């Protein structure tokens, strides 16, 4: 076996790799769980108003819109942005151009913050010395 293969198979390298993959998977799972709640929070914070579909006509109109995406309509010559949420609140969020631009800015800020958090978690995992604790694939300091 060559030195390159031996290094690849070392317990410390494999633990670090598994730790990094686990941290990445956990961060993605947490982000996925919070997407719907944070999107509706950002819509409200951006100035979108909520209109609940309470009549059969409103239910039919809600069903005709694509869920979870923005649709633009022109009302009295001005753009109106509609975000349909049939499964969450059985409603639509309605906003103007300024609300839509504010939502996009908040989305970018959230994305950057999420990436910075994930990078910090991965750096923390990479800096951790698992060999000190022995552990998950071989004897530790107490073995010797």
What is the three-state SS of the chain? CCHHHHHHCCHHHHHHHHHHHHHHHHHHHHHHHHHHHHHHHHHHHCCCEEEECCCHHHHHHHHHCCECCEEEEEECCEEEEEEEECCCCCEEEEECHHHHHHHHHHHHHHHHHHHHHHHHHHHHHHHCCHHHHCCCCCCCCCCC
Which phi and psi (to 5°) does residue 115 adopt? -65, -40
Asked if pLDDT for residue 2 goes beyond 70, the answer is: no
- Give the pTM: 0.58
Kindly report, residue by residue over 51-61, the tens digit of the pLDDT: 999 999 999 99
Residue 56 CA, chain-centre distance (Å), reads 34
Which pLDDT tens digit goes with each residue over 74-115? 999 999 999 999 998 999 999 999 999 999 999 899 889 888
Residue of 52 and 128 predicted with greater confidence: 52
Angle between helix axes 11-45 and 97-127 (nearest 10 degrees) is 160
pLDDT the model gives residue 80: 95
Give the per-residue pLDDT at 133: 57
d(CA 60, CA 71): 16
């Amino acid at each position: 076996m060559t030195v390159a293969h031996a290094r690849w198979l070392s317990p410390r390298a494999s633990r670090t790799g598994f730790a990094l993959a686990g941290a990445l998977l956990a961060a993605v799972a947490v982000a996925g769980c919070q997407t719907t709640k944070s999107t509706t929070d950002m819509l409200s914070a951006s100035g979108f108003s909520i209109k609940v579909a309470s009549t059969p006509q409103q239910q039919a109109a809600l069903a005709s819109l694509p869920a979870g995406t923005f649709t633009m309509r022109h009302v009295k010559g001005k753009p109106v942005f509609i975000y349909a949420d049939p499964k969450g609140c059985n409603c639509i969020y309605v906003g103007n151009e300024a609300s839509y631009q504010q939502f996009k800015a908040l989305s970018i800020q959230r994305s950057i913050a999420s990436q910075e958090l994930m990078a910090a978690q991965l750096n923390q995992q990479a800096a951790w010395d698992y060999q000190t604790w022995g552990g998950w694939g071989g004897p530790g300091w107490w073995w010797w």
